[in-house]
Structure 1
């Protein structure tokens, strides 16, 4: 008897939703697109680059398959994400953010900054993924001028991020000029080790949060031995304060 395949997530094949606040206000229009539960957290995951549905479901504990499929469909219809098929031998579909979706990074960063005081205590029921600490760390590294790939090692796991990224305005200007480079279109951060990192740092999650809140600067943490920087690249030199 042939092996039965697991059921695929239910497709949200319904017309484009018309639900709206119906207010001529930029904030209301934005919430029309991203105000539903889970949408911004899906954006957070897709800022790490193209993800398969199963990967998204694994890194969004608590979301149902139906809700995840529905939100992804809404994001496609709203121009925030696209779905594409990977070339052989992968033969898998992935979701990735559009330029408009990637422009939500400062929105998420500001939201994370506002919510940071609520992380004073980790609850026993709290899930955690290492790359969730990328947002506060990106804020602490905003002044780093060198572009490069930085691998970050925490007790919770390993992730990597890209430093020296241009602003949303610079990316928009580059797109209009037709000069968008691979570095500009790369994912902001990613789960797991980097293939060829320009530098590596080791620190703890609590320090990531303190860095994001501005309680301590990156340079101060390096100087106090709270962050270990390894590598011989210009990026590693800058991170060490050289």
Structure 2
């Protein structure tokens, strides 16, 4: 358990004591993508001091949120327990709530594979996707390449590059080729929020189509959308 106690008998208090310490929720975020070795977690959270990472992992294990297990070809990894995985809708809801306050990235802000993966899962609108034809999108952000495979109301996000991250046994893998390959920077936030249409984003060089049918960007924008006050105004 975390060392801090708020001294209140309340479910919110218990939750904050478990995952409210600095960095704890970001560790949970990354483990929602998949199991991670200690070195993977450190790489995905480059600004976390090693002693803090070790402490948070110990606290999360003691709280029943995280466990350490062997994974074939990867050695020992950290993964969420069933109790820890119950945090997924909460983390996604927090991501949607915080999206409106993101603004533009600062000069020292980093973008990681797991943060983009969770951003796609946060923005995914299963209700909208269910009424649209299936599509596979390959998204390039710097040296990161993610495949978002949308089939009805189901989304599978797969990391294509950089390679080498452990994957949970039985995680789905689909052989379909991408329908659209495009590159984007932080400005993709303005497309997801509806501030820019895909056409405007291309004109302003926020997005660039690499391969495939450019008109599918409209479907992407329908499928991955978080309304903000600026877009609604």
Match of 2:31 among 34, 46, 56: 46
Match of 1:80 among 65, 77, 98: 65
The answer as to 2:130 corresponding to 1:138 is no
CA distance in 2, matches of 1:82, 1:24: 26
The answer as to 2:93 corresponding to 1:110 is yes
Corresponding residue for 2:146? 159
Q: Is the 8 A contact 1:82 1:98 kept in 2?
A: yes
- Tell me the TM-score normalised to structure 2 length: 0.65
Q: CA deviation at 1:32?
A: 1.4
CA distance in 2, matches of 1:134, 1:239: 15
Q: Is the 8 A contact 1:47 1:189 kept in 2?
A: no
Q: 1:158 to 1:31 in 2, by over 3 A?
A: same
1:16-61 deviations in Å (ceiling 9; x for gaps):
5564323233322211111000111111211221111111111111
Aligned length: 200
1:140-162 deviations in Å (ceiling 9; x for gaps):
33232378875422235212456
Q: Is the 8 A contact 1:221 1:227 kept in 2?
A: no
Secondary structure of residue in 2 paired with 1:110: helix
Q: CA RMSD in A?
A: 3.9
Match of 1:209 among 168, 189, 193: 189
Match of 1:126 among 78, 93, 109: 109
CA distance in 2, matches of 1:191, 1:19: 36
Q: 1:140 to 1:128 in 2, by over 3 A?
A: closer
Secondary structure of residue in 2 paired with 1:47: helix
- Tell me the TM-score normalised to structure 1 length: 0.63
Corresponding residue for 1:99? 82
CA distance in 2, matches of 1:27, 1:97: 20
The answer as to 2:198 corresponding to 1:221 is yes
Q: CA deviation at 1:230?
A: 6.5
Unaligned 5+ residue runs, structure 2? 164-172, 223-233
CA distance in 2, matches of 1:197, 1:139: 24
CA distance in 1, matches of 2:134, 2:86: 19
Unaligned 5+ residue runs, structure 1? 1-15, 167-182
Q: CA deviation at 1:213?
A: 3.0
The answer as to 2:37 corresponding to 1:60 is no
Q: 1:206 to 1:30 in 2, by over 3 A?
A: same
Q: CA deviation at 1:81?
A: 1.6
Q: Whose strand fraction is larger, Structure 1's or Structure 2's?
A: 2
Corresponding residue for 2:160? 192
CA distance in 2, matches of 1:240, 1:69: 39
CA distance in 1, matches of 2:150, 2:84: 19
